[in-house]
């Protein structure tokens, strides 16, 4: 699934959660993904939590209106009322990140009210010099010092329906997913884990599923660039190519 990043009302791309590059208009991107018959689309507002602002409900509604596939939105979500407004706009699933670190029971409240199928938890992880993984929040700026495996187990217990696991170190690098932490989280959680961060070729999808035991994969750079080091091109792998590699 393509994972698109918003900064304000612009579509952008980052590398390791830094080095923001302008991509274009998110609505145009959604229209192209409709034509390419994408299965599901994830949209993250990367500044909402950092700037302590509410989601841009107007923009979310416009994106949902254009989107012909299931849509997930994350960014700045910290109350039940926010979730209600976003789901009312036509979004099928919401993604919560930083609030799960601050108040893990928020996921239980959300799942009880809206159902686990609507609640995704995003876990952003970083590996330190000793090889230990830690959960980061607030757009990769705050080290929670929480073990991602422990956090994933807790989120599953709280009622999350899925986990999007992103390697900050790999994000935007085209170097492949972090299969080690994906495998560990997938083994610990009894819910689907979506690998994110690092996809550079279709083979990486296969490896994320086979080596990382992921249930699905998300792509960022591959969805907005022609190739590594080349120009912007809203893109999605050909379905025949996907079948050939994944089967």
pLDDT tens digits for range 127-153:
999 999 999 999 999 999 999 999 999
Percent of the chain with pLDDT over 70: 96
User: Is 230 within 8 Å of 200 (Cβ atoms)?
Assistant: no
The span from the first CA to the last CA of the chain, in angstroms, equals 18
Instruction: State yes or no: is 112 an active-site residue.
Output: no
Provide the pLDDT for residue 240.
67
Q: What is the pLDDT of residue 157?
A: 97
pLDDT of residue 163: 98
* CA separation for the pair 30, 73 (Å, rounded): 13
Among candidate residues 25, 58, 81, 124, the one labeled active-site is 124
What is the separation of C-alpha 131 from the centre of its chain, rounded to a whole number of angstroms? 23
Would the CA dihedral through 19, 24, 25, 30 be positive or negative?
A: negative
CB–CB of 74/64 below 8 Å?
no
**Per-residue pLDDT at 247:** 61
| Residue 117: count of CB within 10 angstroms of its CB | 11
Q: pLDDT averaged over the chain? A: 94
pLDDT band for position 50 (cuts 50, 70, 90): very high
Q: Which residues pair with 232 in a beta bridge?
A: 225
Read off the DSSP letter of residue 20: E
**Overall domain count for the chain:** 1
With beta carbons less than 8 A apart as the criterion, state whether 41 and 30 touch. yes
What average pLDDT does range 64-83 have in this prediction?
96
Listing DSSP states for 110-171 in one string gives HHHHH-GGGEEEEEEEEE-TTS-EEEEETTTTEEEEE-HHHHHHHHHHHT-SEEEEEETTTT
Mean pLDDT of 11-35: 94
Taking the C-alpha atoms of residue 34 and residue 177, their distance in angstroms, rounded to an integer, is 26
Could you give the CA distance from residue 123 to residue 72 in angstroms, rounded to a whole number? 15
Q: Do the beta carbons of residue 49 and residue 76 sit within 8 Å?
A: yes
Section 112-136 average pLDDT: 96
Write the CATH number for 198: 3.20.20.70
What pLDDT shows up at residue 58? 96
Q: pLDDT tens-digit profile of 205-247?
A: 999 999 999 999 999 999 999 888 778 888 887 766 666 666 6
Average pLDDT of the residues in 53-65: 96
Q: How far apart are CA 145 and CA 213, in angstroms?
A: 25
Quickly state the pLDDT bin for 63 (edges 50, 70, 90). very high
What is the domain extent for residue 178? Answer: 3-246
With a CB cutoff of 8 Å and minimum separation 6, the contacts of 57 are 85, 86, 89
């Amino acid at each position: 699934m393509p994972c698109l990043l918003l900064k304000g009302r612009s579509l952008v791309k980052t590398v390791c959660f830094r080095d923001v590059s302008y991509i274009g208009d998110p609505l145009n991107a959604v229209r192209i993904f409709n034509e390419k018959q994408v299965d599901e689309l994830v949209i993250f507002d990367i500044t909402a939590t950092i700037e302590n602002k509410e989601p841009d409900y107007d923009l979310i509604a416009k994106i949902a209106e254009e989107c012909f596939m299931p849509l997930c939105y994350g960014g700045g979500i910290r109350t039940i009322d926010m979730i209600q407004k976003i789901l009312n706009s036509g979004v099928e699933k919401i993604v919560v990140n930083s609030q799960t670190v601050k108040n893990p029971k928020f996921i239980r409240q959300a799942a009880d009210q809206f159902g686990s199928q609507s609640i995704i938890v995003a876990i952003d992880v970083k590996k330190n010099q000793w090889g230990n993984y830690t959960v980061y929040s607030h757009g990769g700026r705050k080290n929670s010092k929480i073990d991602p495996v422990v956090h994933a187990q807790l989120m599953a217990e709280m009622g999350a329906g899925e986990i999007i696991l992103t390697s900050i170190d790999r994000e935007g690098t085209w170097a492949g997913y972090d299969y080690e932490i994906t495998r560990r989280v997938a083994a610990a959680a009894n819910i689907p884990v979506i690998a994110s961060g690092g996809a550079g070729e279709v083979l990486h999808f296969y490896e994320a599923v086979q080596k990382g035991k992921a249930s699905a994969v998300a792509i960022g750079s591959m969805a907005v660039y022609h190739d590594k080091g080349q120009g912007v091109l809203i893109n999605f792998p050909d379905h025949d190519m996907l079948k050939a590699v994944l089967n």
